[in-house]
Chain A
Amino acid sequence: MAISRRKFLKITSGAIGGGVAAEIGILNVDTAAAAAKAGKAPIKSGRQVASICPYCAVGCGQIVTVSDAGEIVDIQGNPDSPINQGTLCPKGAATYQLVKNEQRWSTVKYRAPGSDRWEERPLEWAMSRIAELTKKTRDANFNEFQDLPDGKGGTVRKRVMNTYAIASLGGATMDNEWNYLHQKLMHALGVVYLENQARI
Chain B
Amino acid sequence: MGSNMAECHPVAFRWPLKARTDHDAVLMHVDPRFTRTSAACNLHVPIRAGSDIAFLGALIKFVINSKRWNEDPFFREYVVNYTNAATLVNPEFRDTEELDGVFSGLAPDGKSYANATWSYQRNQAPPKAKGGVGPFSDLLLQQVPGRPKTDPTLQDPNCVLQIVRKHYARYTPDLVEKVCGCSAEQFLKVAQTMLDNSGRDKTANITYAVGWTQHTVGVQIIRAAAMLQALLGNIGRPGGGVLALRGHATIQGSTDIATLYHSLPAYLNMPDGRKKHDSLKEFILTEAGPLATSYWGNYPKFAVSYLKAQFGAAATAENDYGYDYHPKITGDHSHMPMMLDMAAGKIKGFFVMGQNPAVGGQNARLQRKALAKLDWMVVRDYFETETAAFWRNSPEVLSGELKTADIKTEVFFLPAAAVAEMEGSFTNTQRLLQQHDKAADPPGDARSDSWFTYQLGKRLQKMYADSASNLDWGIKNLAWDYEPEAKEVAPWRIKDEPSAYKVLKEINGVTVADQKPLATFANLKEDGSTACGAWIYTGVIPEDGKNNAARRKPDQWISPNWGFAWPANRHIMYNRASADSQGKPWSEAKKLVFWDPDADSGTKDPAGNTVRGKWVAPSGEGIDFQPTKAPTMVGKDAALGFDWLSGNDAFIMRADGKAWLFAPAGLVDGPLPTHYEPYESPVANRVYRQQSNPVAKVWRTEGNVYHGVADPKYPIVVSTYRVTEHHLSGTMSRWLPWLAELMPELFCEVSPELAAEKGIRNAGYVTIVTARGEIEARALVTRRIKPFVIDGKKVHEIGLPWHWGWQGNAKGDVANDLSAMVGDPNVSIHEGKVFTCDIRAGRKGGRS
Q: Which residues of A contact B (CB under 8 A)?
A: 1-3, 5, 7-9, 11-12, 15, 19, 25-26, 29-31, 34, 47, 49-62, 64, 66, 70-72, 75, 80-84, 87-95, 97-99, 101, 103-118, 122-123, 126-135, 137, 141-142, 144, 146, 148-149, 158-200
Contacts and interface: CB of A to CB of B under 8 A. Distances in A.
A164 B254 CA distance: 22
Given A54-B419, A91-B733, A164-B341, A129 B334 contact: no
Given A58-B429, A66-B439, A133-B410, A167 B739 contact: no
Contact of B349 (A60, A94, A108, A166): A166
Contact of B422 (A29, A108, A175): A175
B254 A54 contact: no
Contacts of A112: 410
A110 B740 CA distance: 28
Contact of A192 (B261, B349, B726): B261
Interface size class of B (residues with CB under 8 A): 35 or more
A116 to B, nearest CB: 5
Contacts of A75: 420
Contact of A178 (B255, B448, B554): B448
Interface in B375-434: 375-376, 378, 382-384, 388, 391-392, 404-415, 418-422, 424-430, 432-434
Contacts of B391: 111
B248 A56 contact: yes
Contact of A185 (B256, B264, B439, B456): B456
Given A177-B450, A195-B259, A200-B335, A72 B440 contact: yes
Q: Which of A98, A107, A128, A162 has the most CB of B within 10 A?
A: A98
Nearest to A69: B440
Given A129-B412, A174-B353, A146 B273 contact: yes
B11 A171 contact: no
Given A88-B11, A197-B248, A82 B555 contact: yes
Given A26-B14, A137-B375, A179-B254, A161 B330 contact: no
Given A3-B740, A130-B412, A199-B827, A123 B445 contact: yes
B280 to A, nearest CB: 12
Given A110-B411, A172-B254, A173-B250, A26 B738 contact: no
Contacts of A114: 404-408
B248 A187 contact: no
Nearest to A121: B412
Contacts of B463: 131-132, 135
A82 B562 contact: yes
A178 B449 contact: yes
Given A168-B259, A193-B261, A97 B737 contact: yes
Given A98-B418, A131-B460, A199-B334, A192 B329 contact: yes
Q: Which of B338, B349, B392, B449 has the most CB of A within 10 A?
A: B349
B117 interface: no
A180 B534 contact: yes
Interface in B476-513: 478, 480, 482, 498, 500, 503-504, 506-507
B567 to A, nearest CB: 15
Interface string B6-39: 1011111111011011000000000000000000
B825 to A, nearest CB: 14
B434 A59 contact: yes
B333 interface: yes
Nearest to B732: A98
Contacts of A144: 471
A80 B550 CA distance: 13
B732 A196 contact: no
B474 to A, nearest CB: 4
A159 B457 CA distance: 24
A89 B5 CA distance: 12
Contacts of B583: none
B453 A182 contact: yes
9 contacts: A30-B21, A93-B738, A104-B382, A123-B414, A133-B410, A173-B732, A175-B448, A185-B453, A196-B259
Contact of A148 (B264, B274, B411): B274
Nearest to B459: A131
Nearest to B500: A177
Interface in B498-535: 498, 500, 503-504, 506-507, 533-534
A165 B346 contact: yes
Interface stretch (B48-56, B57-65, B320-328, B700-708): B320-328
B736 interface: yes
A107 B350 CA distance: 20
B628 interface: no
Q: Which of B10, B384, B428, B727 has the most CB of A within 10 A?
A: B10
A26 B257 contact: no
B354 A94 contact: no
Contact of B259 (A5, A163, A182): A182
Interface string B733-763: 1011111111000000000000000000000
A11 B327 contact: no
B592 to A, nearest CB: 17
A146 B427 CA distance: 37
Given A173-B248, A188-B310, A165 B338 contact: no
B245 interface: yes
B655 interface: no
Contacts of B341: 164, 193
A187 B327 contact: yes
Interface in B147-163: none
Contacts of A172: 247-251, 253-254, 354
A167 B351 contact: yes
B698 interface: no
B259 A183 contact: yes
B259 A170 contact: yes
Contacts of B437: 49-51
Contacts of A193: 261, 333, 338, 341, 347
B179 to A, nearest CB: 27
B445 to A, nearest CB: 4
Contact of B245 (A51, A57, A70, A176): A57
A7 B738 CA distance: 11
B316 interface: no
A176 B438 CA distance: 15
Given A49-B437, A161-B325, A162-B328, A176 B426 contact: yes
Given A91-B739, A184-B533, 17 more contacts: A59-B428, A84-B14, A92-B11, A94-B736, A105-B413, A106-B445, A113-B408, A114-B406, A165-B347, A173-B248, A176-B426, A176-B433, A182-B453, A189-B474, A194-B260, A196-B254, A198-B254
